[in-house]
Amino acid sequence: MTEERLEDHPQRYALSNELHARPFPELRAPCHAVVLAIKQAGQAENRDPEADRAHLHDLLNRHGADHPPPDGNHFSGRLGRNLLKWERHTEFVTYTIYADGVAGVPFTGSISTTFPRDWLNQAPGKVLTSVLVRVELADSVPELGEADYARMRDWFVPESLAMSSVVDQQAIAASDFRIDTAGHVRFALLARSDIGPRRLGRIVQRLVEIETYKSMAMLALPVAREVAARVAELDREMTSLVRTMVTSGGGEAETLDRLLSMSAEIEALSSSSAFRFGAAEAYAAIVHERIGALREERVLGRQTLAEFMLRRFDPAMRTCSSAKSRLDELSQRATRAATLLRTRVEVNIAAQNRSLLKSMDRRAALQLRLQQMVEGLSVVAISYYAVSLTGYVLAPISRHLDADEAQLQAMVAVPIIGIVWWMIRRLRLRATERL
């Protein structure tokens, strides 16, 4: 009887298999590895994944090898007598060839001896780094024999040589992290004869990843220098702008235009460099994580890989972090300056409003006085016409009563004036109540 199951998430198996999709190679000394990292122009979102896969398919077709799944981002398989490992990362792809044996002359040849020259010329991008790893059996580990140490001095630049015993003294790793005349970064690994193939494969893989992710992280350094130079200019302009706001009055419109222009440029710098700075932080974290996994121990007083990174790599990453911090701080300063300018404008507007209200009060008082004058004149004018009309009415009466017409008009003038004044006042009060 089968057990009833809930419906699986569409990505359940794909995500679970992703954790097991990149096994470490199994290597046996002596052997060597050739690594090629290719990065397309632009940022990760502008990459063409099909171009990367087509380039891989071309290489596989030359050797009659099987292709990876259509949407695969990694592949491991035989390429002739060698093992090929292909990985598509967020920003770049890596081709790694693991081969048995080593050349009689260390680190000789070129990438074209492993990868076809015409195939290299068709790569959809530029070479970010190429790495040569030479794995030999050591005379003695954890200490180096005289012959071993002599080889290290011959292979690498002494002043840059980083060397340490790694992974519980199972091997000695060395490199000067310099690009040689053929364009490669060299790593040497002297392993004990009893080291396991999986452990040796993990060590080689981690050395390769250290160099690859270091190179990716260093892409942020030119961006950081450009940003830092422009931020210094904008900082001086911002300081001058704020000083002008404090020491001078007026000119808010011109100041606002300058501030808006600076804010727009700051946002443009932030948006154009945010991805590179964020990626550099992630890559640097991976580099230190891979170095930590090697569990280094000092050999012959030489600097370890971690110390090399501390002296050479970490300052570059701190430069990037400083440029990013200064850019963020400048953006905050621009925001605060805009707030100050807006407050200043609001205060000026409030002062203008107070002046306008005072002016309106004066105009209202003047209008009131004019209205009172008009009312007075209206009383006089209406009373005059009312008395005149009354005189026409009283003329027949005065002749009948044998009375003086002027006296009768004088007698009714005062009551008429009072009535007119009361009526006009009444009308004004009603109009005021309606308002």
> What's the pLDDT tens digit per position in 205-241?
999 999 999 999 999 999 999 999 999 999 998 888 8
Average pLDDT (179-202) is: 91
Range name among 39-43, 58-62, 111-115, 311-315 with the lowest pLDDT average: 111-115
> Is the separation of the CB atoms in 164 and 296 below 8 Å?
yes
Q: What is the mean pLDDT of residues 64-70?
A: 84
Peptide bond into 25 cis (omega under 30): no
Average pLDDT over residues 342-350: 79
Tokens of 169: 């003294």
Tokens matching residue 417 = 């004036």
How far out from the chain centre does Cα 266 lie? Answer: 11
CA angle 154, 133, 122 (to 5 degrees): 120
**Axis-axis angle for helices 314-401, 252-294 (nearest 10):** 150
The angle formed by the CA atoms of residues 140, 145 and 146, to the nearest 5 degrees, is 170
35 pLDDT above the threshold of 90? yes
**Phi/psi at 407 (5° precision):** -65, -40
- The interaxial angle of helices 197-218 and 220-247, nearest 10 deg, is 40
pLDDT in tens, 277-326: 999 999 999 999 999 999 999 988 889 999 999 998 999 999 999 999 99
Question: 126 forms bridges with which residues in the sheet?
Answer: 39
pTM: 0.77
Average pLDDT value for residue range 41-68: 82
Reported residue count of the chain is: 435
For 71-126, what is each residue's pLDDT tens digit? 778 888 888 888 999 998 889 999 999 999 888 888 876 566 778 888 988 898 89
Domain ranges of the chain: 21-196, 220-355, 365-434
- The CA distance from 99 to 116, in Å, is 16
> What pLDDT sits at residue 292?
95
CA-closest candidate to residue 30, choices 130, 133, 109, 108: 133
Highest-pLDDT range among 22-31, 190-199, 336-345, 397-406: 190-199
Given a cut of 70, whether residue 403 has pLDDT beyond it is: no
- Tell me which amino acid residue 404 is: D
